[in-house]
Structure 1
Amino acid sequence: MGGVITALSLKVIEQGGLVAGVRYSTDYVKAEYYLAKTQEEVLTFASSKYVQSEKKNIYTEIKYELEQGKKVLFIGCPCDVYAVQRYLGKKYDAFLSCELVCMGVSSYKVASEYKTYAEKKNGSQLIRINARSKRKGWFVPHLEEEYKDGTIKCNTLFGTFLGYGMQVYNRPSCFECKFRGAQGVGDIRVGDFWGIKKTDAYWNSAGVSCIFVRTELGENAMNMFNESELFLYKTDYKTATLSNMSSYSNKSDKYVRLRKKFAEVFKKRGLVAACIATGTASFWAKHIVPDQFHVAIKRVYHFFKDKR
Structure 2
Amino acid sequence: MPKLADKTLCTGCSACANVCPQQCITMIEDNEGFTYPQINSDLCVECHLCEKSCPVLNKKDIDIVMRNAYAAISSDNFVRNESSSGGIFSELALEILKSGGVIFGASYGKSGVVEHICVDNVESLWKLRGAKYSQSYLGDTFIEVKKHLLLGENVLFSGTPCQVAGLKAFLRRDFDNLFCIDFVCHGVPSPMVWREYVKHRSLKDNDGKLPTMINLRNKETGWSRYSYSVKFDYSDNKNYMCKNNSDLYMQLFVNDYILRKSCSNCQFKGYDRISDITLGDFWGIWDIDSSMDDNKGTSMVLTHSKKGEHLFNSILSRINCKPVTLEQASKMNPSLLYSSVHKEVRNQLLEEIRNNGFQGAQRYVQQERQVGSSMKGKLRKFIHKIIHK
Question: Structure 1 segments of 4 or more deviating over 3 A?
Answer: 267-270, 278-281
Counterpart secondary structure, 2:158: strand
Aligned counterpart, 1:303:
none
Offset at 1:261? 4.2
Offset at 1:246? 1.2
CA gap of 1:151–1:233, structure 2 versus 1, over 3 A, is: same
- Structure 1 stretches lacking a partner, 5+ long: 282-308
The answer to whether structure 1 residue 83 and structure 2 residue 166 are counterparts is yes
Identify which of 104, 113, 133 aligns with 2:187: 104
Aligned counterpart, 1:32:
115
Q: Following the alignment from structure 2 to structure 1, what is the Cα–Cα distance between the partners of residues 350 and 140?
A: 31
The answer to whether structure 1 residue 204 and structure 2 residue 204 are counterparts is no
Aligned counterpart, 1:284:
none
Q: Following the alignment from structure 2 to structure 1, what is the Cα–Cα distance between the partners of residues 340 and 362?
A: 18
Identify which of 134, 147, 150 aligns with 1:51: 134
Give the aligned residue type for 1:165. Answer: L
Q: 1:254-303: CA deviations, max 9, x gaps? A: x331423423433444333334433688xxxxxxxxxxxxxxxxxxxxxx
Identify which of 179, 182, 188 aligns with 2:268: 179
Give the aligned residue type for 1:156. Answer: K
Rg larger for? 2
Alignment check: 8 A CA contact 2:135 2:189 kept: yes
Offset at 1:109? 1.9
Counterpart secondary structure, 1:232: strand
Q: Which has the higher contact order (CA 8 A, sep 6+)?
A: 2
Q: Counterparts in 2 of 1:251-270, with a 5 A limit?
A: 251-252=340-341, 255-270=342-357
CA gap of 1:122–1:225, structure 2 versus 1, over 3 A, is: closer
The answer to whether structure 1 residue 131 and structure 2 residue 216 are counterparts is yes
The answer to whether structure 1 residue 19 and structure 2 residue 103 are counterparts is yes
Q: 1:47-91: CA deviations, max 9, x gaps? A: 111111111221111111111111111100001101111111111
Q: Following the alignment from structure 2 to structure 1, what is the Cα–Cα distance between the partners of residues 325 and 297?
A: 19
The answer to whether structure 1 residue 10 and structure 2 residue 94 are counterparts is yes
Give the aligned residue type for 2:301. Answer: I
Aligned counterpart, 1:302:
none
Identify which of 262, 275, 278 aligns with 2:365: 278
- Percent identical pairs in the alignment equals 26
Query: What is the aligned-residue RMSD (CA, Å)?
Result: 2.0
What is the number of equivalent residue pairs in this alignment?
277
CA gap of 1:195–1:175, structure 2 versus 1, over 3 A, is: same
- Structure 2 stretches lacking a partner, 5+ long: 1-84, 370-389
Give the aligned residue type for 1:212. Answer: L
Offset at 1:152? 2.0
Q: Following the alignment from structure 2 to structure 1, what is the Cα–Cα distance between the partners of residues 292 and 114?
A: 32
Q: In terms of mean alpha carbon deviation, does 129-138 or 160-169 score higher?
A: 160-169
Counterpart secondary structure, 2:204: helix
Alignment check: 8 A CA contact 1:110 1:165 kept: no
Alignment check: 8 A CA contact 1:104 1:171 kept: yes
Aligned counterpart, 1:120:
203
Counterpart secondary structure, 1:233: strand
Give the aligned residue type for 2:98. Answer: E
